[in-house]
Amino acid sequence: MNKIFIAAASIVTETDLPSARLGQRFGRLDLQSQLALLAVASLQIDFAKFPPDRLGICLVASAGSLTTDLNFWNGRSGVGGPSPTLFAYTLPSAAVGEIAIHFGLTGPDLCFVGDGTELITEAVDLIRSDKVDGCLCICGEVISTEVAKIISGPSAATACALFLTRAALSPDSRELREFDRDIKPLCALLCAAKSAS
Amino acid sequence: MQISTHELKSKVIESLKLQDITPEQIDDDAPLFGTGLGLDSIDALELVVLLEKDYGIVIKDIEEGRPAFRSVKTLAEFIAAKRPQ
Protein backbone atom coordinates (compact mmCIF):
# COMPACT_ATOMS: atom_id res chain seq x y z
CA MET A 1 0.00 0.00 0.00
CA ASN A 2 1.36 3.43 -0.91
CA LYS A 3 2.50 5.51 2.00
CA ILE A 4 0.65 8.67 2.97
CA PHE A 5 2.35 11.50 4.84
CA ILE A 6 1.11 14.19 7.19
CA ALA A 7 2.81 17.35 5.93
CA ALA A 8 1.44 19.69 8.61
CA ALA A 9 -1.13 19.98 11.36
CA SER A 10 -2.81 22.92 13.08
CA ILE A 11 -5.35 23.78 15.74
CA VAL A 12 -7.03 27.18 16.09
CA THR A 13 -9.60 28.61 18.46
CA GLU A 14 -11.77 31.71 18.51
CA THR A 15 -9.02 33.63 20.32
CA ASP A 16 -6.80 33.31 17.23
CA LEU A 17 -9.29 35.10 14.98
CA PRO A 18 -8.52 38.78 15.80
CA SER A 19 -4.95 38.39 14.56
CA ALA A 20 -5.97 36.56 11.37
CA ARG A 21 -5.16 38.47 8.19
CA LEU A 22 -7.00 36.58 5.49
CA GLY A 23 -8.39 39.32 3.30
CA GLN A 24 -10.96 42.09 3.39
CA ARG A 25 -13.89 39.66 3.26
CA PHE A 26 -12.79 37.39 6.12
CA GLY A 27 -15.15 39.20 8.51
CA ARG A 28 -18.15 38.25 6.39
CA LEU A 29 -17.62 34.53 6.94
CA ASP A 30 -19.50 32.70 9.68
CA LEU A 31 -17.50 31.47 12.66
CA GLN A 32 -17.15 27.93 11.33
CA SER A 33 -15.79 29.11 7.99
CA GLN A 34 -13.43 31.59 9.68
CA LEU A 35 -11.99 28.93 11.95
CA ALA A 36 -11.70 26.34 9.17
CA LEU A 37 -10.00 28.83 6.84
CA LEU A 38 -7.62 29.97 9.56
CA ALA A 39 -6.78 26.36 10.46
CA VAL A 40 -5.84 25.69 6.82
CA ALA A 41 -3.86 28.94 6.54
CA SER A 42 -2.03 28.00 9.75
CA LEU A 43 -0.69 24.87 8.05
CA GLN A 44 1.56 27.26 6.09
CA ILE A 45 1.52 25.08 3.00
CA ASP A 46 2.39 26.59 -0.36
CA PHE A 47 -0.56 25.20 -2.32
CA ALA A 48 0.76 26.85 -5.49
CA LYS A 49 3.23 23.97 -5.74
CA PHE A 50 0.34 21.66 -6.63
CA PRO A 51 -2.02 21.69 -9.61
CA PRO A 52 -5.22 23.18 -8.13
CA ASP A 53 -7.36 20.28 -9.34
CA ARG A 54 -5.08 17.76 -7.63
CA LEU A 55 -5.81 18.93 -4.10
CA GLY A 56 -8.86 17.67 -2.22
CA ILE A 57 -10.72 19.06 0.76
CA CYS A 58 -12.42 16.84 3.35
CA LEU A 59 -14.20 18.62 6.17
CA VAL A 60 -16.24 17.44 9.10
CA ALA A 61 -18.51 19.83 10.97
CA SER A 62 -19.25 18.22 14.30
CA ALA A 63 -22.52 20.08 14.78
CA GLY A 64 -23.23 20.88 11.14
CA SER A 65 -24.13 24.54 10.74
CA LEU A 66 -26.47 24.60 13.75
CA THR A 67 -24.91 27.66 15.36
CA THR A 68 -25.19 29.71 12.17
CA ASP A 69 -28.65 28.30 11.48
CA LEU A 70 -29.80 29.48 14.89
CA ASN A 71 -28.19 32.91 14.49
CA PHE A 72 -30.02 33.27 11.18
CA TRP A 73 -33.29 32.10 12.72
CA ASN A 74 -32.92 34.52 15.64
CA GLY A 75 -32.52 37.41 13.21
CA ARG A 76 -35.87 36.86 11.53
CA SER A 77 -37.84 39.08 13.90
CA GLY A 78 -35.63 42.16 13.50
CA VAL A 79 -36.27 45.06 11.13
CA GLY A 80 -35.25 44.01 7.62
CA GLY A 81 -35.22 40.33 8.56
CA PRO A 82 -32.22 38.05 9.10
CA SER A 83 -28.85 38.76 7.55
CA PRO A 84 -28.70 37.66 3.88
CA THR A 85 -24.99 37.04 4.33
CA LEU A 86 -25.64 34.63 7.16
CA PHE A 87 -28.05 32.67 4.98
CA ALA A 88 -25.17 31.68 2.71
CA TYR A 89 -23.54 29.95 5.67
CA THR A 90 -26.53 27.91 6.78
CA LEU A 91 -24.89 24.88 5.17
CA PRO A 92 -22.20 22.77 6.83
CA SER A 93 -20.25 22.66 3.56
CA ALA A 94 -19.95 26.46 3.27
CA ALA A 95 -16.51 26.36 4.87
CA VAL A 96 -15.29 23.97 2.16
CA GLY A 97 -16.28 26.53 -0.47
CA GLU A 98 -14.53 29.36 1.36
CA ILE A 99 -11.31 27.34 1.61
CA ALA A 100 -11.50 26.40 -2.08
CA ILE A 101 -12.11 30.03 -3.10
CA HIS A 102 -9.41 31.49 -0.86
CA PHE A 103 -6.68 29.07 -1.96
CA GLY A 104 -7.92 28.55 -5.53
CA LEU A 105 -8.39 24.80 -5.09
CA THR A 106 -10.58 22.99 -7.61
CA GLY A 107 -10.14 19.33 -6.67
CA PRO A 108 -12.77 17.02 -5.17
CA ASP A 109 -14.28 17.78 -1.81
CA LEU A 110 -16.32 16.05 0.84
CA CYS A 111 -18.25 17.33 3.83
CA PHE A 112 -19.44 15.26 6.77
CA VAL A 113 -21.51 16.08 9.80
CA GLY A 114 -20.64 14.08 12.89
CA ASP A 115 -17.63 12.89 14.84
CA GLY A 116 -15.19 12.84 11.94
CA THR A 117 -13.87 9.32 12.35
CA GLU A 118 -14.31 8.65 8.60
CA LEU A 119 -12.58 11.84 7.53
CA ILE A 120 -8.99 10.63 7.30
CA THR A 121 -10.07 7.34 5.72
CA GLU A 122 -11.91 9.23 2.98
CA ALA A 123 -8.97 11.55 2.39
CA VAL A 124 -6.61 8.59 2.14
CA ASP A 125 -8.98 6.95 -0.36
CA LEU A 126 -8.91 10.10 -2.51
CA ILE A 127 -5.11 10.00 -2.57
CA ARG A 128 -4.75 6.25 -3.08
CA SER A 129 -7.31 6.25 -5.89
CA ASP A 130 -5.12 8.89 -7.59
CA LYS A 131 -7.85 11.52 -7.67
CA VAL A 132 -5.57 13.92 -5.79
CA ASP A 133 -1.91 14.37 -4.81
CA GLY A 134 -2.77 15.92 -1.47
CA CYS A 135 -5.80 16.39 0.69
CA LEU A 136 -6.77 18.87 3.38
CA CYS A 137 -8.60 17.35 6.34
CA ILE A 138 -10.43 19.83 8.53
CA CYS A 139 -12.53 19.33 11.62
CA GLY A 140 -14.68 22.25 12.71
CA GLU A 141 -16.41 22.38 16.08
CA VAL A 142 -18.61 25.40 16.46
CA ILE A 143 -21.30 25.06 19.11
CA SER A 144 -22.66 28.26 20.63
CA THR A 145 -23.90 28.26 24.22
CA GLU A 146 -27.45 28.45 22.85
CA VAL A 147 -26.94 25.36 20.67
CA ALA A 148 -25.08 23.59 23.50
CA LYS A 149 -28.19 23.88 25.65
CA ILE A 150 -30.35 22.43 22.89
CA ILE A 151 -28.10 19.44 22.23
CA SER A 152 -27.13 19.05 25.92
CA GLY A 153 -23.43 19.20 25.12
CA PRO A 154 -20.48 21.53 25.65
CA SER A 155 -20.03 24.71 23.67
CA ALA A 156 -16.99 24.96 21.37
CA ALA A 157 -15.29 27.19 18.82
CA THR A 158 -12.27 25.41 17.38
CA ALA A 159 -10.96 23.91 14.19
CA CYS A 160 -8.06 21.64 13.41
CA ALA A 161 -6.50 20.72 10.10
CA LEU A 162 -4.10 18.23 8.56
CA PHE A 163 -2.53 18.15 5.14
CA LEU A 164 -2.02 14.66 3.78
CA THR A 165 0.24 14.05 0.81
CA ARG A 166 1.46 11.21 -1.34
CA ALA A 167 5.09 12.12 -0.70
CA ALA A 168 6.91 13.66 2.25
CA LEU A 169 7.08 17.42 1.61
CA SER A 170 9.76 18.10 4.20
CA PRO A 171 11.78 16.37 6.93
CA ASP A 172 8.94 17.35 9.29
CA SER A 173 6.47 15.19 7.38
CA ARG A 174 5.37 12.15 9.33
CA GLU A 175 3.99 8.95 7.88
CA LEU A 176 0.30 8.35 8.48
CA ARG A 177 -0.20 5.14 10.44
CA GLU A 178 -3.08 2.70 10.24
CA PHE A 179 -4.36 3.72 13.67
CA ASP A 180 -4.31 7.45 12.84
CA ARG A 181 -8.05 7.66 12.29
CA ASP A 182 -9.41 10.42 14.48
CA ILE A 183 -8.35 13.87 13.33
CA LYS A 184 -8.82 15.76 16.61
CA PRO A 185 -6.45 13.74 18.85
CA LEU A 186 -4.01 13.40 15.95
CA CYS A 187 -3.84 17.17 15.44
CA ALA A 188 -3.51 17.70 19.19
CA LEU A 189 -0.64 15.22 19.36
CA LEU A 190 1.22 16.67 16.38
CA CYS A 191 0.76 20.29 17.46
CA ALA A 192 1.90 19.48 21.00
CA ALA A 193 4.97 17.69 19.63
CA LYS A 194 5.78 20.66 17.41
CA SER A 195 5.42 23.10 20.31
CA ALA A 196 7.71 20.99 22.46
CA SER A 197 10.45 20.74 19.83
CA MET B 1 -32.10 65.70 4.67
CA GLN B 2 -28.49 65.20 3.57
CA ILE B 3 -26.50 62.43 5.19
CA SER B 4 -22.79 62.33 5.71
CA THR B 5 -20.94 60.06 3.28
CA HIS B 6 -18.41 59.40 6.03
CA GLU B 7 -21.17 58.12 8.29
CA LEU B 8 -22.59 56.02 5.46
CA LYS B 9 -19.19 54.51 4.69
CA SER B 10 -18.80 53.60 8.37
CA LYS B 11 -22.18 51.89 8.30
CA VAL B 12 -21.30 50.02 5.09
CA ILE B 13 -18.01 48.82 6.59
CA GLU B 14 -19.78 47.68 9.76
CA SER B 15 -22.74 46.11 8.00
CA LEU B 16 -20.64 44.20 5.46
CA LYS B 17 -17.96 43.39 8.06
CA LEU B 18 -15.21 44.68 5.78
CA GLN B 19 -11.77 44.29 7.31
CA ASP B 20 -8.63 46.40 7.01
CA ILE B 21 -10.43 49.31 5.38
CA THR B 22 -11.39 52.73 6.73
CA PRO B 23 -14.04 55.21 5.54
CA GLU B 24 -11.23 57.48 4.34
CA GLN B 25 -10.04 54.77 1.95
CA ILE B 26 -13.39 54.59 0.16
CA ASP B 27 -13.84 57.10 -2.65
CA ASP B 28 -17.29 58.72 -2.72
CA ASP B 29 -17.57 58.12 -6.47
CA ALA B 30 -15.90 54.70 -6.69
CA PRO B 31 -18.14 51.83 -7.87
CA LEU B 32 -19.44 49.73 -4.99
CA PHE B 33 -19.70 46.55 -7.06
CA GLY B 34 -17.27 44.78 -9.33
CA THR B 35 -14.28 47.12 -9.38
CA GLY B 36 -13.89 49.75 -6.65
CA LEU B 37 -15.02 48.28 -3.35
CA GLY B 38 -15.56 44.90 -5.00
CA LEU B 39 -18.90 44.05 -3.43
CA ASP B 40 -21.08 41.20 -4.71
CA SER B 41 -24.75 40.20 -4.88
CA ILE B 42 -24.91 39.06 -1.24
CA ASP B 43 -23.52 42.43 -0.19
CA ALA B 44 -26.27 44.09 -2.25
CA LEU B 45 -28.88 42.25 -0.20
CA GLU B 46 -27.10 43.25 2.99
CA LEU B 47 -27.18 46.91 1.87
CA VAL B 48 -30.93 46.62 1.24
CA VAL B 49 -31.32 45.42 4.84
CA LEU B 50 -29.08 48.28 6.03
CA LEU B 51 -31.30 50.85 4.29
CA GLU B 52 -34.38 49.42 5.97
CA LYS B 53 -32.86 49.02 9.42
CA ASP B 54 -30.97 52.30 9.67
CA TYR B 55 -32.92 54.63 7.40
CA GLY B 56 -36.42 53.15 7.21
CA ILE B 57 -36.21 52.83 3.43
CA VAL B 58 -37.79 49.72 1.93
CA ILE B 59 -36.70 48.88 -1.60
CA LYS B 60 -39.50 46.87 -3.20
CA ASP B 61 -38.37 47.19 -6.79
CA ILE B 62 -34.75 46.28 -7.46
CA GLU B 63 -34.77 48.48 -10.58
CA GLU B 64 -35.52 51.44 -8.33
CA GLY B 65 -32.55 50.65 -6.13
CA ARG B 66 -30.07 49.74 -8.85
CA PRO B 67 -28.89 53.32 -9.68
CA ALA B 68 -28.59 54.06 -5.96
CA PHE B 69 -26.01 51.32 -5.48
CA ARG B 70 -23.53 52.74 -7.99
CA SER B 71 -21.39 54.49 -5.38
CA VAL B 72 -21.42 55.84 -1.83
CA LYS B 73 -22.35 59.25 -3.23
CA THR B 74 -25.39 57.95 -5.16
CA LEU B 75 -26.43 55.87 -2.16
CA ALA B 76 -26.25 58.91 0.13
CA GLU B 77 -28.32 60.93 -2.36
CA PHE B 78 -30.88 58.10 -2.58
CA ILE B 79 -31.17 57.95 1.21
CA ALA B 80 -31.56 61.71 1.46
CA ALA B 81 -34.37 61.63 -1.13
CA LYS B 82 -36.23 58.59 0.20
CA ARG B 83 -35.70 58.81 3.92
CA PRO B 84 -39.00 59.21 5.82
CA GLN B 85 -39.18 62.65 7.47
Cα A69 to the chain's mean position, in Å?
18
Domain of A84, CATH number, reads 3.40.47.10
A62 found inside a domain:
yes
Question: Tens-digit pLDDT profile for chain A (197 aa)?
Answer: 689 999 999 999 999 999 998 988 899 999 999 999 999 999 999 999 999 999 999 999 999 999 999 999 999 888 878 999 999 999 999 999 999 999 999 999 999 999 888 899 999 999 999 999 999 999 999 999 999 999 999 999 999 999 999 988 888 889 999 888 899 999 999 999 988 87
Instruction: Determine the distance in angstroms separating the CA of A65 from the nearest CA of chain B, rounded to an integer.
Output: 19
R_g over Cα of chain B:
12
A46 found inside a domain:
no
Question: CA of A81: which chain B residue's CA is closest?
Answer: B49
Eight-state DSSP code of residue A185: H
The beta-carbon neighbor of B18 closest among A24, A83, A88 is A24
Chain B touched by A121 (CB under 8 Å): no
A81 found inside a domain:
yes
C-alpha–C-alpha distance, residues A25 and A30, integer Å: 11
Containing structural domain, residue A131: 5-20+30-40+53-196
The domain total for chain A is 1
Instruction: Determine the distance in angstroms separating the CA of B52 from the nearest CA of chain A, rounded to an integer.
Output: 6
Residues of A in contact with B38 (CB under 8 A): 24
C-alpha–C-alpha distance, residues A141 and A161, integer Å: 12
Residues of A in contact with B20 (CB under 8 A): 21, 24
Domain boundaries, chain B: 5-82
Query: To the nearest 5 percent, what fractions of chain A are helix, strand and coil?
Result: 40, 20, 35
A160 found inside a domain:
yes
The DSSP annotation for A72-91 comes to: HHHGGGSTT-S-HHHHTT-S
A155 found inside a domain:
yes
The beta-carbon neighbor of A24 closest among B20, B46, B48 is B20
CA nearest neighbour of A43 among A114, A151, A136: A136
A25 found inside a domain:
no
Per the CATH hierarchy, to which homologous superfamily does domain B5-82 belong?
A: ACP-like (1.10.1200.10)
Structure confidence by residue, pLDDT tens digits, A42-54? 999 999 999 999 9
